[in-house]
Amino acid sequence: MTPTDLMPPLRDHLNMELICHRALLANLEQQQRELVANHIPAFAELVTKCEPLITEQSRLRKGREKIIAGFAVLMERPGKSLSLADVIAIATEPLKGELSARHLVLKDTLQKLRAVQERNQALVRQGLGFVRDLVGTLTGEPTQGGYDRRGHDGGRPGNGRLVNLAG
């Protein structure tokens, strides 16, 4: 077996990874829309639908690492890590162009995934902060940390409660 024999399986594997990443990206983008619209049950359902995709991503990553390790053995470089770019560099045309294009699309998709995930996390943190502040206002709990302009501890004037918790 030669490294050239492993190129088509690598291409097919990258295509499967791309399909999985795109499905996850679509899910995360929908999660973002649900968060903005404050549809929490729909958001929670999307989160549970994400779990199998993440599991599949992990499985595919391990498969790619196994294929690349096969390249290392065939190139008599066992123990030395090869990157996908290293493998693409030894490919012959037309597979080289195809693999290179897939690699770029995968990198772009992963960057989009990261950006959408960061935005979703920011939306969740913002919502939780709002709820924390609202509950603090209702119960009269002092704010956590921070100082006002004069260097005081930032407590609310009066620290009264809007809700009678004593019953």
**Domains, the chain, ordered by start:** 3-139 (1.20.58.300)
* CA distances in angstroms from 129 to 31, 75, 133, 134, 167, listed in the order given: 19, 54, 6, 8, 27
Task: Please enumerate in sequence order all residues whose Cβ is within 8 A of that of 31, keeping only pairs 6 or more positions apart, or say none.
Answer: 43, 46, 47, 50, 120
Task: Please enumerate in sequence order all residues whose Cβ is within 8 A of that of 63, keeping only pairs 6 or more positions apart, or say none.
Answer: 13
The C-alpha atoms of residue 103 and residue 14 are separated, in whole angstroms, by 8
Q: Is 78 helix (H, G, I), strand (E, B) or coil?
A: coil
For the segment 108-143, what is each residue's pLDDT rounded down to a tens digit?
Answer: 999 999 999 999 999 888 888 888 888 877 777 665
For the segment 12-62, what is each residue's pLDDT rounded down to a tens digit?
Answer: 999 999 999 999 999 999 999 999 998 989 999 999 999 999 999 999 999
